[in-house]
Structure formats: structure tokens, C-alpha cells
């Protein structure tokens, strides 16, 4: 089993599942705290990487497109502190982070898991019930109904209609847009048979966001709803999902032998420096040798 423990969080991999537990460091965003522990099946993983830095490095887990309702909603707009699939790694644990990456990559290769999109969600989305208060309102979702209620900062034209309840079966789409610069953001629900082009501040099916600390929590509510809507790729069936039975995935490019030899030398140096234990060094060494 591969494991890395940092102030930013703890990641473990047992060959089948990557478990991600957020840490208590001040840099851990409210969104990650609200999600809590995540269990990511290997089938949902497209890849893993480690990026060294001057003060600290960053371990990244890349998921297959369409596997996670949160990433489907966010569309690449999660900030680093809110992204549950990034882990800040202290420089003295670089060897452990790279070993973790090797373990995930080797498992993907052995299981022949493609990085292509998927036609169903492989993660269940946030736990229910879920609620968040930010901007001009509160959004709540219990699995069947969304309830939007307003506060003293809500525009009178929107607040005058009172709280809004939306059946999940009437929702055709969810749009989460984080604030950027002078532009406000929103969590907006597109409802069947109701056409609206009003800005979020006037739209009774949207919460307007102003760029405050709790704004990312609205993405948690949005992701819980997205997880219960039809999958966006289910009807389109990406090519990878419709390949003839027995078709083998494309072969992974061969590793550079020189790079692998350099990696072996680096592991030896980390072991001599006491960064890697005997067991960690032995396992990492074997993983590299298998790729030569």
C-alpha cells in the first residue's frame, strides 16, 4: 500500500482505491472540508503526477472526464485550495510522492484502464442532505428537492417571491460560476418549461455569489444535484465506450531508460538520506525496475 501524510491531507492507495482525507491546514479550503473523505476507484483515474516546487511540491490525481459530478460541474474552475485532487507535499517527502505516483501508474497499466471519458459517474457525489449559505441565499438539497431561500442582501424583486422549491426531476441543468475579478458568480438551476435570461441577482432559480470565503460551498450543493441528473455522455457514448468487445486499449508509450536509471539513482540518494525507509525504497525500486 502507498501512503503519504501531509498537513494538507492524507492519500492512501491500496491497488484498487485512492482514499483522500483532507487535512487541517489553514490552506485546506471549505469545499474540501465539506466533501470529507473521498474514495476514488481506480477505474475513475486517468493518471497521477508530481510537480516539484521551490518550497513544496504538488501531487495531482487526474480523473477521467465524466467520472466525478463535482469536476463535471466545475469545468476546471476549482481553485487550488478547493481542488480535492491536489495535495501540497513538503520537499522532504518528494520520494514518497513519486513512489505514490508510480504505484498508481503501475496499477493503471496492469489493469489496462483507459484514460478515455466515461458514460456514468464513478463517484457518488457529495453526501445528502447538503446545504450551503453564501452570497444572497441558501441552497439546500435532500436528493429530491432543491430549496433556495433568501437573506437581507437579496434584491427585493427576487426576495418578494419567497423561497423557491424545485423538484430534481424538473432540473435540466446546473451551472456554477465562481466570481472572477469584478464579475460576480452564481449557482443557477435551469428548470424545465421556464425560460429566463435574467442575471443571477434577479433570477429566483439562482444564488448570486460575490467572491467571499463560503462561495465554493455552493459547488458542493450543485455537484450533489448533478450526480442525480442524466449523465451528459450517456447518450453520446464516447468512442472508448463503444469499442468492440475484446479490443485492447492503446499501448502506453515506452519509458525512457535513461530517465528510469536517473530515477533509480534518486531513490538511492533518498534512501541514504533517510527520506525513504527500507521498505519504501525496496518497493519503489521494484516498480522502476519493472518499467525498464
pLDDT tens for the 292 residues of the chain, in order? 899 999 999 999 999 999 999 998 887 999 999 999 999 999 999 999 999 988 899 999 999 999 999 999 999 999 988 999 999 999 999 999 999 999 999 999 988 899 999 999 999 999 999 999 999 999 999 999 999 999 999 999 999 999 999 999 999 999 999 999 889 999 999 998 887 789 999 999 999 999 999 999 999 999 999 999 999 998 664 444 444 434 344 333 445 676 667 777 777 777 776 766 777 677 777 777 766 6
Distance, CA of 29 to CA of 82 (rounded, Å): 5
pTM, two decimals, is: 0.80
Strands 206-209 and 2-6: unpaired
Region for 181 from its dihedrals, namely left if φ exceeds 0, alpha if ψ lies in -120 to 50, beta otherwise: left
Please give the grid coordinates belonging to residue 90: 513538503
Distance, CA of 119 to CA of 148 (rounded, Å): 30
Helix axes 94-110 and 257-272, enclosed angle (nearest 10) = 140
Amino acid at each position: 500500500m502507498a501512503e503519504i501524510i501531509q498537513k494538507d491531507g492524507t492519500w492512501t492507495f491500496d491497488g484498487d482505491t485512492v482514499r483522500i482525507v483532507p487535512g487541517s491546514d489553514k490552506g485546506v479550503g471549505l469545499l474540501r472540508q465539506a466533501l470529507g473523505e473521498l474514495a476514488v476507484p481506480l477505474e475513475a483515474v486517468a493518471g497521477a503526477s508530481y510537480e516539484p516546487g521551490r518550497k513544496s511540491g504538488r501531487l495531482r490525481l487526474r480523473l477521467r472526464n465524466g467520472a466525478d459530478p463535482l469536476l463535471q460541474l466545475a469545468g476546471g474552475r476549482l481553485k487550488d485550495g478547493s481542488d480535492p485532487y491536489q495535495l501540497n507535499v513538503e520537499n522532504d517527502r518528494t520520494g514518497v510522492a513519486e513512489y505514490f505516483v508510480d504505484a498508481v501508474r503501475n496499477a493503471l497499466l496492469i489493469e489496462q484502464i483507459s484514460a478515455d471519458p466515461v458514460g456514468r459517474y464513478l463517484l457518488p457525489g457529495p453526501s445528502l442532505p447538503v446545504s450551503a449559505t453564501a452570497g444572497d441565499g441558501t441552497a439546500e438539497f435532500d436528493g429530491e428537492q432543491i430549496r433556495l431561500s433568501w437573506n437581507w442582501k437579496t434584491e427585493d424583486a427576487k426576495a418578494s417571491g419567497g423561497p423557491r422549491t424545485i423538484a430534481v426531476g424538473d432540473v435540466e441543468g446546473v451551472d456554477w460560476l465562481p466570481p472572477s475579478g469584478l464579475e460576480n458568480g452564481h449557482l443557477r438551476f435551469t428548470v424545465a418549461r421556464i425560460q429566463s435570461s435574467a442575471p443571477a441577482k434577479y433570477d429566483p432559480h439562482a444564488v448570486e455569489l460575490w467572491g467571499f470565503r463560503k462561495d465554493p460551498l455552493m459547488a458542493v450543493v450543485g455537484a450533489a444535484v448533478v450526480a442525480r441528473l442524466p449523465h451528459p455522455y450517456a447518450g453520446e457514448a464516447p468512442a472508448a465506450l463503444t469499442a468492440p468487445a475484446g479490443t485492447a486499449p492503446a499501448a502506453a508509450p515506452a519509458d525512457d531508460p535513461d530517465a528510469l536509471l536517473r530515477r533509480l539513482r534518486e531513490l538511492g540518494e533518498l534512501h541514504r538520506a533517510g527520506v525513504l525507509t527500507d521498505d519504501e525504497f525496496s518497493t519503489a525500486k521494484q516498480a522502476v525496475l519493472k518499467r525498464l
